Amino acid sequence: MEAHAGTQSLFAAPAGGSLWRRKLTNRVMTGLIVLAFVIALIPLFSLLYQVVKRGLPGISWEFFTTSSRGVIGGGGAAHAIVGTLVITAVTAAISVPIGILAAIYLNEYGGGRLRRALTFFVDVMTGIPSIVAGLFAYALFALFLGPGIRLGLMGAVALSVLMIPIVIRSSEEVLKIVPNHLREASYALGTPKWRTIVKVVLPTAFAGLLTGVMISVARIVGETAPLLVTTGIVDSINANPFEGRMQNLAVYAYSEYRTPGVMKQASYDRAWAAALTLIAIVMILNLVARLVYRRYRTEIR
């Protein structure tokens, strides 16, 4: 089909070059956005690079297996690793049931004012500074057990204050996604509400709930300030949260850096190695969360 001389195509851009201008704007904006993205990533990569570079010298078999007990200038972080794992486990044991049950209430039952008040308070809790959470836990236990008390359990309580609102938030979002027609199908079979929640809603939301829990664990695993005031600094392995001070990786990194032993460089190395181990733990948790999500994800039509 030939256009006659003087006939314009239907789709020609209007005169004035606005098409060209649009394309240029497009390219400039794309460039700016990519640049912003790269700039945002620089600190992340720089951080990772530094931690790996400085932490690797501290990583050794000794690092993972010995504690600092009775050692001058040497030792490892076994007690810190054990402590982090124990405290995180206890925190999760406290926060996950409370958080998920609260999310179930807010999404499945709650109505009116109580629900609005709860949502408001959960929002406030997400903003609590971690040192405040730590001081709260300390004050609470000091009230009953006297001042100067240090317990692994206190640290877990402090971290729970930080973890619960995140669990509630993410669980609520996940429960909202479960389509209502599944609940209706269950009700129509003559199933009471609580059973519907336990046997239909929760299993359907399971993968999402688990991911939410993993994310909230990753958030609290590196908190230092609240643990400094609640679990203290100690040199030996303590796996009992109900008794005595407990070391953990975050506080360990801090104390090795702040009060290095006789061989300063070795202490600094261990501090960096502890940081590297923390990052590694968070990464592993995230990966596990992704794998579990993929395995258990239910396709909801």
Partner 1 sequence: MQGAAGATRAEAETEAAGAPASQPATAPGATPQAVGRDRRAKTIEAREVNLYYGDFHAVQDVSVTIEPNKVTALIGSSGCGKTTFLRSLNRMHELTPGARVEGRITLDGEDIYGKGVDPVQVRRLVGMVFQAPNPFPTMSVYENAAAGLSLNGSRVKKAEKDEIVERSLRGAHLWNEVKDRLDKPGSGLSGGQQQRLCIARAIAVEPEVLLMDEPCSALDPVATLAIEDLIGELKSSYTIAIVTHNMQQAARASDVTAFFNLEQTGKPGRLVEIGPTETIFTSPTEKATEDYVSGRFG
Applying CB under 8 A, the residues found at the interface with partner 1 are: 111, 181-182, 184-192, 195-196, 199-200, 203-204, 206, 298-301
Q: How far is the CB of 283 from partner 1 (least distance, A)?
A: 29
The token duo for 280 is 């590694």
Which CB atom, from 154 or from 200, has the smaller least distance to partner 1? 200
Which CB atom, from 43 or from 112, has the smaller least distance to partner 1? 112
| DSSP classification of residue 10 | T
3-state class (DSSP) for residue 60: coil
DSSP alpha helix (H) spans, 105-151: 112-126, 130-145
Which CB atom, from 116 or from 195, has the smaller least distance to partner 1? 195
Which CB atom, from 60 or from 191, has the smaller least distance to partner 1? 191
Distance CA 201, CA 109 (A): 13
Which CB atom, from 31 or from 192, has the smaller least distance to partner 1? 192
91 close to 159: Cβ distance less than 8 angstroms: yes
Q: How far is the CB of 66 from partner 1 (least distance, A)?
A: 46
Q: Which residues contact 261 (CB under 8 A, 6 or more apart)?
A: 72, 73, 74, 267
Q: How far is the CB of 114 from partner 1 (least distance, A)?
A: 15
Q: How far is the CB of 119 from partner 1 (least distance, A)?
A: 17
Burial of 5 (0-12, 13-18, 19+ CB in 10 A): exposed
Q: How far is the CB of 187 from partner 1 (least distance, A)?
A: 6
